[in-house]
């Protein structure tokens, strides 16, 4: 029976997204000399690491923009790699995330932004809008991208906390959402040992 991500990922925030559109976005990291599957991604310029876990089975890095504190942040970005979750379909993973968000939010809207192949890896990206989180007492807009690699399941999470809002559109400029959608679109996975997932094919 296929596992769902909610059974394994319990040490990281439920979702993550947008913000600081004025911050220049860095291009995806260039392929390194490592002869293995790799996530090509880097945070926006000047964002700082506030949490890091690096084991063979799980890798998580959380970033905050300049001036934000880990105890009271507004915007957060996470890169995750989970070795034990490679059998999970990206769409299933995101549907599971939506179900978890509904447990803590008074109202949730979610939108599939993309589902298909990127560099021949199964990939899905979803936008979630939580009107009022029961724990933070704030609204949340999040964007998640999941890539099913051969060695890891990769999750990129972005979240922005905003004032609570009624059912409908939150107070977030569409241009800001578009900026982050483009940022996630340029994040990819490659494998220098696999011609179907060639790293050269993922360069901008």
Helix, strand, coil share (%) of the chain residues, nearest 5 = 20, 35, 45
Domain residue spans in the chain?
A: 5-202
Please give the share of the chain, as a percent, with pLDDT higher than 90.
72
Hey, what are 151's tokens? 């060695």
Q: Which of 125, 130, 111 is nearest to 155 (CA)?
A: 125
DSSP type of residue 56: S
Write the pLDDT tens digit of every residue in 92-116.
Answer: 999 999 999 999 998 999 999 999 9
**Any residues with CB less than 8 A from the CB of 66 and at least 6 apart, and which?**
46, 47, 48
CATH for 5-202 is 3.40.1000.10
Contact 45, 65 (CB under 8 A): no
Write the pLDDT tens digit of every residue in 28-65.
Answer: 554 445 569 999 999 999 999 999 999 999 999 999 99
């Amino acid at each position: 029976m296929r596992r769902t991500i909610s059974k394994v990922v319990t040490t990281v925030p439920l979702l993550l997204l947008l913000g600081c559109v004025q911050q220049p976005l860095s291009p995806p990291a260039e392929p390194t000399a490592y002869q293995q599957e790799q996530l090509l991604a880097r945070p926006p310029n000047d964002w700082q690491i506030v949490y890091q876990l690096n084991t063979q089975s799980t890798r998580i890095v959380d970033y905050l923009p300049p001036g934000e504190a880990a105890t009271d942040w507004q915007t957060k970005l996470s890169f995750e790699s989970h070795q034990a979750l490679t059998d999970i379909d990206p769409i299933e993973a995101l549907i599971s995330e939506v179900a978890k968000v509904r447990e803590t939010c008074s109202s949730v809207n979610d939108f599939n932004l993309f589902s298909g192949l990127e560099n021949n890896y199964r990939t899905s990206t979803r936008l979630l809008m939580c009107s009022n989180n029961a724990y933070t007492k704030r609204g949340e807009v999040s964007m998640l991208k999941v890539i099913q690699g051969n060695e890891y399941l990769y999750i990129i999470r972005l979240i922005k906390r905003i004032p609570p809002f009624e059912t409908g559109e939150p107070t977030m400029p569409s241009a800001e959402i578009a900026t982050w959608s483009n940022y996630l679109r340029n994040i990819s996975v490659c494998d220098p040992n696999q011609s179907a997932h060639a790293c050269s094919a993922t360069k901008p």
